[in-house]
């Protein structure tokens, strides 16, 4: 693994301001200084971290499907979300909340698989990835914005085919599946 020095910041923030904000995000504009001394502007979306949960059952996975306005199409993905009003909170509790809210499923076995930055070039938001097993069905409690959401269980082969053929385009879902495969392999090798 390449060594990096976390104190070796190559770009320095001179000033920062919020250009726009709503209950879900802020758009920030920072005046920066580059390593050569020149200055510029860097704009990015500032959002709280989200949790993503891979619900595993009977050798397959539960996915949700919803319309994603910025890309103008419906998206199959693992349940995921943030707390309201840009709050930060415990990632494990957030994972439990999102799983129940979007699918109605509850889990007695939630494990952390890793942490990702899905859009590091344009957003501060990170994602804690979990796997949920030992699932119990219940009633979902989706938010108003999720009224078009539905869920379905897919076999592992179906999920992989959906990734291959471009049906699943959510990068966090694809990355979470890779973390799941790596953790599953590690458990098998022990």
Backbone angles phi, psi at 125, to 5 degrees: -65, 135
Comparing CA positions, the residue from 48, 54, 47, 188 lying closest to residue 113 is 54
Q: Rounded to whole angstroms, what are the CA distances from 170 to 7, 76, 82, 106, 174?
A: 32, 7, 16, 23, 7
**121 has a pLDDT exceeding 70:** yes
pLDDT of residue 1: 47
Q: How confident is the model at residue 175 (pLDDT cuts 50, 70, 90)?
A: very high
Residue range 45-88, pLDDT digits in tens:
999 999 999 999 999 999 999 999 889 999 999 999 998 888 88
Domains of the chain: 12-46 (no CATH), 50-189 (3.90.79.10)
User: Distance between CA 50 and CA 66 in Å, rounded?
Assistant: 17
Look at residue 9 in the predicted model and tell me its pLDDT: 61
Tens digit of each residue's pLDDT (9 = 90 or more) over 84-94: 888 888 999 99
Q: Are 45 and 124 in contact (CB under 8 A)?
A: yes
Q: What is the DSSP string of 79-112?
A: -EE--GGG----HHHHHHHHHHHHH--EEEEEEE
| Arithmetic mean of pLDDT over the chain | 90
Q: What is the pTM (predicted TM-score) of this model? A: 0.87
Q: How many whole angstroms separate alpha carbon 78 and alpha carbon 164? A: 16
Alpha-carbon span 65 to 20, nearest angstrom: 29
pLDDT at 4: 52
SS3 of 37, please?
Answer: coil
């Amino acid at each position: 693994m390449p060594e990096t020095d976390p104190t070796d910041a190559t770009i320095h923030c001179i000033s920062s301001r919020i250009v726009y904000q709503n209950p879900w995000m802020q758009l920030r504009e920072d005046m920066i200084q580059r390593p050569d001394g020149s200055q510029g502007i860097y704009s990015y979306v500032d959002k709280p971290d989200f949790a993503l949960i891979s619900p595993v059952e009977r050798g397959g996975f539960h996915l949700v499907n919803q319309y994603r306005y910025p890309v103008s199409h419906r998206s199959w993905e693992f349940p995921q979300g943030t707390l309201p009003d840009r709050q930060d909170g415990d990632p494990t509790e957030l994972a439990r909340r999102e799983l129940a809210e979007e699918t109605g499923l509850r889990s007695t076995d939630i494990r952390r698989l890793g942490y990702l930055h899905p859009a590091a070039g344009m957003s501060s938001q990170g994602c804690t990835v979990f796997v949920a097993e030992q699932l119990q069905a219940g009633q979902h409690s989706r938010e108003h914005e999720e009224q078009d959401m539905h869920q379905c269980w897919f076999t592992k082969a179906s999920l992989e085919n959906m990734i291959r053929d471009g049906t699943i385009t959510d990068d966090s879902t694809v990355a979470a599946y890779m973390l799941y495969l790596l953790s599953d392999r590690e458990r098998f090798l022990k």
